Structure 1
């Protein structure tokens, strides 16, 4: 851990990182807060699902556009207006939800717009890491630290929401979400590290034919991560069904979710602390394959007669391979995208993951109703292994783009 502590002792690194973590907490609290508020104020789960789903759609659509704008205009000129607009729309959505005279059809529209305006903070921080940490080994640790922080957000965000709900004020979680989003983004943009990131001018020879989505290697990577995220989305929802099946109540979901989330955070830190000789493309294939095989073990453990401690150990082992997938994929994005499109490219990665997880969430609901948690987990494992197959097919395409200067030795 000494390498991570050394990073955090540097204020040029620590200030943008910590403020970006604060600003990204709403990624976990906003969707859940929307579900709870709409259910409470409108007593309508269907409407709550539509509102949350369209927020995710907006997030997926808006992120690449903001990423491209950051590449051309710089981070503060994009992130501050985006966070302000998204925060304002979330406030309007909160008020419209509580004021029941507002037609229900207005809520999904506001949610879609709020998601579309949400600032791409993870791609922004990725760019900042590249600027404030020049040594490759330390930068790789920074990427791992960032991935572990995201896993902590998805555990700590719902916990924060639960504490706020104890105060008995239904709109409070979303109000706090807005404060974290706008305040964290402003603090990030004011940090010295973030201000060091300069926009990349578009080369004169750049044209539509050089678009990211016309690059076969880049599209293959987006496909790999989207299919993997389908499996992850199914896993996420299946944990609720598994908790109900094994523990008697979906409210005890945390007991099953904690080991897999904790394993993912630890796996990211361990992965970032190693000096790897193999390229990112090969490591991604390995981590995807092991992740899928362990998910099959989780599905087997969902049956009757498997001791709960054994299942928890398998969940923890499975989690160890989640963050390394993301870190390796981010490294491949940097390899496959031109320098003047790196922010947009990382935003496309976020979109692929968000869209895949959303599909997985929807599929999991059907599978749980029709066949139960064990079948849902088996499908999740199959999706991850399907992503590994695509990853294997893409190896030759990615190898052709290998740049020795970017390799990790």
Structure 2
């Protein structure tokens, strides 16, 4: 929506998003597959530890799995953009499911060679199907009206947040009944069934999300003329997403350390649950508000709120206050990521949207890993107040960088206004 346009008197509802033809089935299928991503990491880590008796091996295997999964995400998304999800997703999901099943098989009993685990985990990470970026690209095709699309992205973000809460809870149930390797096996089934259901849905029939080859080659943002991270909107969206990831990666470790220092180690789980709850509330509220400002103009503001809340969190006198402040910080997480995905989507031609979204996804995941590692080096050396302040810096710094780009803001806002004009009846 153009920043000069008046805000609608009433934002479209979430029910309107799900009433969009074929949207509910496609969304449900994608969520079923994405539930695997909430279960597999914890299940695999526990299964490897059980099979080898070594936390260091488990950590190394998970690092290989995570690195190949995260950093090759744009390359897999490029295949989706080039060949379309109906052709590219099934081989990825099939290979990923088979490799997860192999990991479940070899970790079911002790004695597996660590090298074999590393090879299987790394190869599985290479094949991870980008269901999140694909679903967000599909939303932009199913829901062309920008206000409704913003709500669709908010719903998607909140649902994904809840999956990453539900997944570990399901793993807890599984390991209470059987071995952790069973969780890996269940994850392989979920991703395969969910992916096949998605690609067979009417939303993808008749080229529903197939690549627009001619479109991808046209326009100033075409990948042949300008690399995606050279596109201002994509670069700024990835920058904000990376900042959010850095903050969240550091926050996870800081919450654990804070709770243990206050003699309430078990409370860390509840504090992190408060973060997820705050993010869900923030995401739903963000989608419900009929914003006057464009997505690009709003992009840095949730990062500012997140950074400010983290800086305050270090002043908490106990875990109860910390939980409240962390919940407040969570309110800004889903809006920050939703807006980043929207800015990336509206900044590029249709044929490269999956790849643009994958860069945002890669940025937040890579930022989370780096944030955890960086805070791990500081948490034993500095006070909690200083550590929380350091964790807040990336969000505030990246927001400042995005704020200092008025010319780019105007260019992207004009592009968004042009797309809105096309999508209006």
**TM-score normalized by structure 2?**
0.89
**Preserved contact between residue 259 and residue 319 of structure 2 (Cα < 8 Å):** no
User: Larger deviation: 328-337 or 392-401?
Assistant: 392-401
Post-superposition shift, 1:207?
6.7
**Preserved contact between residue 245 and residue 371 of structure 2 (Cα < 8 Å):** yes
Partner of 2:211: 199
* 1:219 maps to 2:235: yes
SS in 2 for 1:318: helix
Partner of 2:257: 241
Map 1:86-165 → 2, pairs under 5 A: 86-98=96-108, 100-165=110-175
Aligned partners of 1:152 and 1:393: how far apart in 2?
A: 34
User: Larger deviation: 224-233 or 165-174?
Assistant: 224-233
**Preserved contact between residue 223 and residue 352 of structure 1 (Cα < 8 Å):** yes
Q: 1:252 aligns with which of 263, 267, 279?
A: 267
* 1:81 maps to 2:94: no
* 1:383 maps to 2:394: yes
Cα deviation, 1:32-81, whole Å, max 9, x if unaligned, reads 11111111121111111111111111112321112111112111211111
Q: 1:228 aligns with which of 228, 244, 251?
A: 244
**Preserved contact between residue 281 and residue 395 of structure 1 (Cα < 8 Å):** no
Q: Structure 1 residues 332, 307: closer, same or farther in 2, change over 3 A?
A: same
* 1:275 maps to 2:290: yes
SS in 2 for 1:169: coil
Q: Which runs of 5+ in 2 are unaligned?
A: 1-10
Aligned partners of 1:137 and 1:60: how far apart in 2?
A: 30
SS in 2 for 1:275: coil
**Preserved contact between residue 217 and residue 394 of structure 1 (Cα < 8 Å):** no
**Preserved contact between residue 282 and residue 395 of structure 1 (Cα < 8 Å):** no
Aligned partners of 1:244 and 1:17: how far apart in 2?
A: 39
Partner of 1:48: 58
**TM-score normalized by structure 1?**
0.92
Partner of 1:405: 418
Aligned partners of 1:298 and 1:35: how far apart in 2?
A: 30
**Preserved contact between residue 240 and residue 300 of structure 2 (Cα < 8 Å):** no
Post-superposition shift, 1:100?
4.5
Aligned partners of 2:246 and 2:303: how far apart in 1?
A: 13
Partner of 1:367: 378
**Preserved contact between residue 29 and residue 158 of structure 1 (Cα < 8 Å):** yes
Post-superposition shift, 1:84?
0.8
**Preserved contact between residue 304 and residue 395 of structure 2 (Cα < 8 Å):** yes
User: Larger deviation: 259-268 or 67-76?
Assistant: 67-76
Q: Structure 1 residues 213, 311: closer, same or farther in 2, change over 3 A?
A: closer
Aligned partners of 1:373 and 1:91: how far apart in 2?
A: 42
Q: Structure 1 residues 204, 325: closer, same or farther in 2, change over 3 A?
A: closer
Cα deviation, 1:245-291, whole Å, max 9, x if unaligned, reads 33532x43221112110110111111011111111122122111111
SS in 2 for 1:369: coil
Partner of 1:326: 337
Aligned partners of 1:2 and 1:310: how far apart in 2?
A: 36
Q: 2:42 aligns with which of 4, 29, 32?
A: 32
**Preserved contact between residue 260 and residue 316 of structure 1 (Cα < 8 Å):** yes
SS in 2 for 1:210: coil
Superposition RMSD in Å: 2.3
Partner of 1:65: 75
Aligned partners of 2:76 and 2:369: how far apart in 1?
A: 20
Post-superposition shift, 1:300?
1.1
Map 1:302-317 → 2, pairs under 5 A: 306-317=317-328
Aligned partners of 1:168 and 1:198: how far apart in 2?
A: 41
Partner of 1:338: 349
Aligned partners of 1:116 and 1:406: how far apart in 2?
A: 35
